[in-house]
Amino acid sequence: MTQKIKELQIELINSSPNTIKGMWFAARNCYEREGLKKLELTYTPEKAIDLLKNVYKLSHLSIFEQSFYQFNINGLSRSCLAQMTRHRIGWSYAVQSQHFQKHDDFSYKSLEQYYSDQQEMNYFQLMEDINKFYKDALAHGIPRYIAREVLPNSTSVNMIVSTNLRALDNFWKLRSGKENTPEIRKVSRKFYNLVIEKDKGLEEIIRYPC
Ligand SMILES: Cc1cc2nc3c(=O)[nH]c(=O)nc-3n(C[C@H](O)[C@H](O)[C@H](O)COP(=O)(O)OP(=O)(O)OC[C@H]3O[C@@H](n4cnc5c(N)ncnc54)[C@H](O)[C@@H]3O)c2cc1C
């Protein structure tokens, strides 16, 4: 039996060149009569972080839309994809297509929990049976966009996701808690770790909810 389990992988592939400075410009601009050039002379990262902390406390959150992060996500389950795409405002998604791409020998996510070793083996067998069913359908002329209907919720997808800090903040508030599935909580935590690793000082402004 071939097991094609795929682990979740997320990387930050693109982002604003200087997120903190960009948001600081946006915030200062709200109260500044002079132009951008003069403003720039007064910039320091420390002052920017202090200002942005206040802006965040005041819920002047549109400032945090002035940022950009693009993630490459591999090995996400289709069920988690459905949860992710409920986040509509400030999010852009480009998802690997089951309609156009052939999904024979598809990879999938292992379940978070099994009640026995036998049940785990049964799960792998079930995936193998679905794979056979899918291949047989294609071999008999069923189009990919119809055969795909048999693919399980645990099928892995790859996708590119772009977003900003305001949308991420809302995502972290909603998706970090224990009431969520382990998979989307992993996505949430990984997004946070990648963002604060790239933009030093951001963790002082937006703290991870739990
Ligand atoms: C623990 C948990 C369980 C869930 N269970 C289910 C479930 O069983 N079934 C289900 O269907 N969904 C479920 N959801 C999804 C949930 O209802 C939201 O769709 C999802 O969390 C996206 O949140 P959001 O709307 O804040 O995000 P976004 O779509 O990104 O919206 C961001 C913000 O914009 C504003 N906004 C967006 N659209 C509107 C609008 N039309 N009108 C006014 N303001 C708007 C709101 O302030 C919103 O918070 C669940 C979510 C969680 C966290």
pLDDT tens-digit readout, 137-156: 999 999 999 999 999 999 99
Q: Is 89 in the pocket of ligand 1 (CB under 6 A)?
A: yes
- Give the pLDDT band of residue 37 (cuts 50, 70, 90): confident
Q: Is 179 in the pocket of ligand 1 (CB under 6 A)?
A: yes
Q: Is 170 in the pocket of ligand 1 (CB under 6 A)?
A: yes
Average confidence (pLDDT) over 65-94: 98
Closest among 92, 76, 89 to 184, alpha carbons compared: 76
Supply the pLDDT for residue 103. Answer: 87
Q: Which residue has the higher pLDDT, 104 or 81?
A: 81
Supply the pLDDT for residue 210. Answer: 76
Between the alpha carbon of residue 202 and those of residues 165, 193, 196, 197, the distances in Å are 10, 11, 6, 9
Supply the pLDDT for residue 17. Answer: 96
Residues 6+ apart with CB under 8 A from 60: 27
Q: Please state, in angstroms and rounded to a whole number, the distance separating the CA atoms of residues 82 and 150.
A: 17
Q: Is 88 in the pocket of ligand 1 (CB under 6 A)?
A: yes
Q: 162 pairs with which residues across the strands?
A: 70, 92
User: In percent, how much of the chain has pLDDT > 90?
Assistant: 86
State the average pLDDT for the chain: 95
Nearest CA to ligand 1 atom 51: 174
Angle at 177 between CA 91 and CA 153, to 5 degrees: 60
Helices assigned H by DSSP within the chain: 19-29, 36-41, 45-57, 78-84, 117-139, 144-147, 165-175, 182-198, 202-205
Supply the pLDDT for residue 209. Answer: 96
**How do the domains of the chain map onto residue ranges?**
16-69+164-205, 72-89+98-157
- The pTM (predicted TM-score) of the whole model is 0.95
Q: For 192, list phi and psi in degrees, rounded to 5.
A: -60, -50
Q: Please state, in angstroms and rounded to a whole number, the distance separating the CA atoms of residues 147 and 71.
A: 29
Supply the pLDDT for residue 3. Answer: 61
Q: Please state, in angstroms and rounded to a whole number, the distance separating the CA atoms of residues 90 and 69.
A: 11
* 127 Cα: distance to centroid of ligand 1 (angstroms): 31
Closest among 4, 10, 12 to 158, alpha carbons compared: 10
